[in-house]
Chain A
Amino acid sequence: MIQGQIDIGEIVLHHAADSYSIFMFEWRRMESLQFGPFNVTPTKHVVFLFIAAFLVFLTMKVAGRKLEAQRANENAPKGFANAIEAMVLFVRNDVAIANIGHDGAKFAPFVMTLFFFVLYMNLLGLIPHGATPTGNLAVTAGLAVLAFLVIEIGGFLKLGPAGYMRTIFPTIPGLSGPGAIAMSLFMAPIEILGKMVKPFALCVRLFGNMVAGHLVILSIMGIIFLFGHLPFWNWGIGIAAATLLLGIMMLEIFVAMLQAYVFALLTAVFIGLMQHEH
């Protein structure tokens, strides 16, 4: 019996986790590779980070070159390059500039990079032997911290020191004198918490969506192995699970796009909120 020998749950959980192996290649954690007190040996997800970044760059470079060639020949944009241009413009205009406002063009490269990077990382997990770096809490936390820095530093530069302090110690309308100061001081921890919660939600939402998808897919695959020993029924179970998996995989493609969109959109919304805080 399989379930006696192998713990399916353990495999599923480990499969979604980071590791030092891809396909059949394995490497060791290098204890000497330190960055301060932290070990920075590249893991599977780090490798896929690089792959995603490279693919994003490749896509954009090729699309840009084709677009320039089409423009030079005065041809209408078409095909792959036009599709990429449309997507890039959508993220730039309808996600970044629409939510940030007049300064949106300044933040657009950040939001665009975020969107396509996250999108490619999400999609990489759907390829056989691929892995989703965004299914790693460290990756989404790293991106969320970057978003946090951009939101807060962007706000600080826009509002100035006094204006920025007002986002932490708010002026309460209708209050004056010592009461206003007391309320401001009381509100400060809540405001700071509010600033922290936004990127935290970004981080956990993306991670949760990605890991959950993988866990669902792996669990349904696990069903096949759990019941594979049953005579006759194993066929039915296999076919049913495979059909279900196909559906979930389709859903995952949608979720990969949706979550990249949500991450970029919310980052843009938060940047816009800080930019227009008065």
Chain B
Amino acid sequence: MLPYWLPLLQEAEEHVPTSPFEPEFGVIFWTWLVFGALFFVLKKYAWPAILSATEERERKIAHQLEEAERMNAEAKAALEEHKALVAGARDEASKLIGEAKTVGEAEREAILNRAREEQEQLVDRAKREIEAERERAIAELRREAVDLSLAAASRLVEAKLDDEANRKLVMSYLDSLEQAR
């Protein structure tokens, strides 16, 4: 048997003006109207409540990102500054060391010079003293020699010779010897 509602259904469907493949403008009109209304109603009354937390979070994250970027830049600048400071300090230090080196060098030079001078002076004095000592020794030797020669000569001639006059004679002889040498 037929289900009781089947002819009913068919009868009802006979009022249908279109097949599904024929778009009717009236329905397009309603679609726009309903969609537009839904869009604005949702935008005003529904989305803010649902999205507020997310949007708040997004804003916060964006803000934090900005902050982080700013701080990063600041840190970079500080690091740069610090680096410059360290480099400056190093330059200063090396300059100081260089200065100290030159000063030390000069000082060393001066001390060495002084020492050399002193040494030369010492050597000179010693030389002079040695020279004087030698002169004295030679004179002594010479006098001794004269005395000895005179004593020996007086023994030989067995005559008492005038001391002073003879000494002068011998001295002059010796001088002549020296000059001849």
Cα A71 to Cα B53 in complex, Å, equals 9
A17 and B54 contacting across the interface, CB-CB below 8 Å: no
Q: Tell me the bound Cα distance from A110 to B43 in angstroms.
A: 9
B17 near A29 (CB under 8 angstroms)?
Answer: yes
Bitwise, A64-94 to B at CB < 8 A (1) or not (0) is 1101100100000000000011001100100
Surface stretch bound by A, among B19-27, B142-150, B168-176: B19-27
Q: Which of B22, B25, B28, B38 contacts A113 (CB 8 A)?
A: B38
- In chain A, positions 198-229 with a C-beta closer than 8 Å to chain B are 207, 211, 225
CB of A139 closer than 8 Å to a CB of B: yes
Binary contact track A95-125/B, C-beta < 8 Å → 1, others 0: 0000000000000011011000100000000
With A49-B34, A65-B49, A142-B35: A113-B26 Cβ-Cβ less than 8 Å = no
Q: Is the CB of A61 within 8 A of B6?
A: no
- Say whether A168 faces chain B, with CB atoms less than 8 Å apart: no
Q: Which of B8-16, B65-73, B90-98, B128-136 contacts A (4 or more CB under 8 A)?
A: B8-16
Report A45-71 CB contacts with B as 1/0, cut-off 8 Å. 110011001001100110111011001
The answer to whether B46 has its CB under 8 Å from any CB of chain A is: yes
A113 touching B34, Cβ below 8 Å: no
| Stretch of A19-27, A183-191, A242-250, A263-271 with 4 or more beta carbons under 8 angstroms from chain B | A19-27
Whole-angstrom distance between the Cβ of B56 and the nearest chain A Cβ:
10
User: Using a CB–CB distance below 8 Å, which chain A residues touch chain B?
Assistant: 2, 5-6, 10-11, 13-21, 26, 28-29, 35, 38-43, 45-46, 49-50, 53, 56-57, 60-61, 63-65, 67-68, 71, 84-85, 88-89, 92, 109-110, 112-113, 117, 133, 135-139, 141-143, 145-146, 207, 211, 225
Chain A positions within 8 Å of B43 at CB level: 109, 113
In the complex the two chains form, is B26's CB within 8 Å of A39's CB? yes
Given contacts A138-B31, A146-B32, A35 and B42 within 8 Å (CB-CB): no
- By DSSP majority rule, is chain B's interface helix, strand, loop, or mixed? helix
Q: Which residues of B contact A141 (CB under 8 A)?
A: 23, 28
How many chain B residues sit at the interface, stated as a range, is 35 or more
Q: Provide the residues of chain B in CB contact with A207, threshold 8 Å.
A: 20
Interchain CA distance A63-B48 in the complex, whole Å: 11
**Is A89 touching B27 in the complex (CB atoms < 8 A)?**
no
**CB-nearest residue of chain A to B30:** A46
Q: What is the CA–CA distance of A116 and B6 in the complex, to the nearest angstrom?
A: 34
- The answer to whether A138 and B35 touch across the interface, beta carbons within 8 angstroms, is no
Enumerate 6 A-B pairs (CB-CB under 8 Å) in ascending A order: A43-B26, A46-B34, A64-B45, A113-B38, A137-B20, A138-B31
